[in-house]
Structure 1
């Protein structure tokens, strides 16, 4: 009998493709979910407007909030600065998915922008640009003059907290880092799983939840080789499989 593949809903983003608006997910997220035993489905932003959203998302046994070119809208966390790279449809869908995951206990893995959405959903706030905050010194932003394979290489450590979910992996790891926004105030009910050596929050989890973890780095890049990426995706799919049987 074939092993059951839990259904993993992946949030989509607005992009322009060949001059036309499109809903898109980078292949690396789809491949990572499939590689570790999940059955990925893609949700367009319009899913948030559906009259039967609850019935639609009920089929998902796991939710993946991806990284994105866009940033969380300032109004979501009480800020007033100008944010040029917005995707309001992505915001709306991600926040509805977070609400569903919190209520239903659905496993959720949040990456980069996803971590920021997760923190804001739980009433946390963000630094619009970590470079404007005194004290952060690690290379958290990629050099976009370099090839992609260079941009996504590990550049700094994360220090894992001993009381958290990631402690089962170890105490420290070297990760990539490609982001402008960063966590300022941590959301209610969230636990800081890991920090960079300069103190920037690199991972969070919802304490009273079977599996809801957000990471600031990109585990999908080397999902089959990097040990921490393996740990994250294996745990995510494991809990999604348990959701199927619950």
Structure 2
């Protein structure tokens, strides 16, 4: 089976669908993994409670932490504000997956909420709402009055740090950064990969890990055409394929 596609575990989120509690993943994440040669599987948050967690993850070659409607629970990073949009099961699973990926060198790509989870896991902190922080001026949040295809188009630049992994792509790009929470203190062992012109951290990576990258924007939305999205997913699946064959 060494030539089979790498298996990519995608974290699921709690949602109410037709009045019923459900676990769900937006289709674009699944499509992007498929498009770049991965074999996606969906992990419900109950996987975190499994006594067989590591045996379950042993079949996985890469992990994708998606964006989400919910936000990281304040208690995870020492905050005390009230956060209305929480998914504690998602938190539990994502933090366990981050610990596993760190320990086993499993490739991991973290998007939006995933980046925030990654930063908090490594003892960083978050701004609960970047709009309440003096100095941030870029449009980091979508205009909900617009149709979805407009909301998720690129809105500001990111400047890529020369010492990071993304430097292999280039120096600057235009991204669709849509979020409320934002990195405050960068976590331990994490390298800042890209900044918005207003200084907001837009990408991070884990030092000395084969591939663990978090981005604040949404590469899954334009995964076929956007050059930085192509770079991220190509690299992610490449390292997942290496994980499968080693």
What range describes the TM-score normalised by the shorter chain of this pair?
Answer: over 0.9
1:4-58 Cα distance to aligned partner (Å, 9 max, x none)? 3100000000001011110000000000000000000000000000011010111
Gaps of at least 5 residues in structure 2 are none
In structure 1, the residue matched to 2:155 is: 155
In structure 1, the residue matched to 2:211 is: 211
Aligned length: 246
In structure 2, the residue matched to 1:244 is: 244
Question: Secondary structure at 1:14's aligned position in 2?
Answer: strand
The structure 1 segments of at least 4 consecutive aligned residues displaced by more than 6 Å after TM superposition are: none
Question: Secondary structure at 2:205's aligned position in 1?
Answer: strand
Structure 1 residue 187: Cα displacement: 0.1
Q: Distance in 2 between matches of 1:26 and 1:136?
A: 29
In structure 1, the residue matched to 2:41 is: 41
1:194-221 Cα distance to aligned partner (Å, 9 max, x none)? 0000000000000110000000000000
Q: Is the 8 A contact 2:2 2:244 kept in 1?
A: no
In structure 2, the residue matched to 1:143 is: 143
Q: Distance in 2 between matches of 1:52 and 1:3?
A: 26
CA RMSD of aligned residues (A): 1.0
Correspondence 1:1-246 to 2 at 5 A: 4-246=4-246
Q: Distance in 1 between matches of 2:140 and 2:228?
A: 18
Gaps of at least 5 residues in structure 1 are none
Question: Secondary structure at 1:142's aligned position in 2?
Answer: coil
Q: Distance in 1 between matches of 2:82 and 2:57?
A: 32
Structure 1 residue 3: Cα displacement: 5.2
Q: Distance in 1 between matches of 2:144 and 2:16?
A: 20
Question: Secondary structure at 1:244's aligned position in 2?
Answer: helix
Q: Is the 8 A contact 2:140 2:179 kept in 1?
A: yes
TM-score normalised over the length of structure 1:
0.99
Q: Is the 8 A contact 2:2 2:245 kept in 1?
A: no
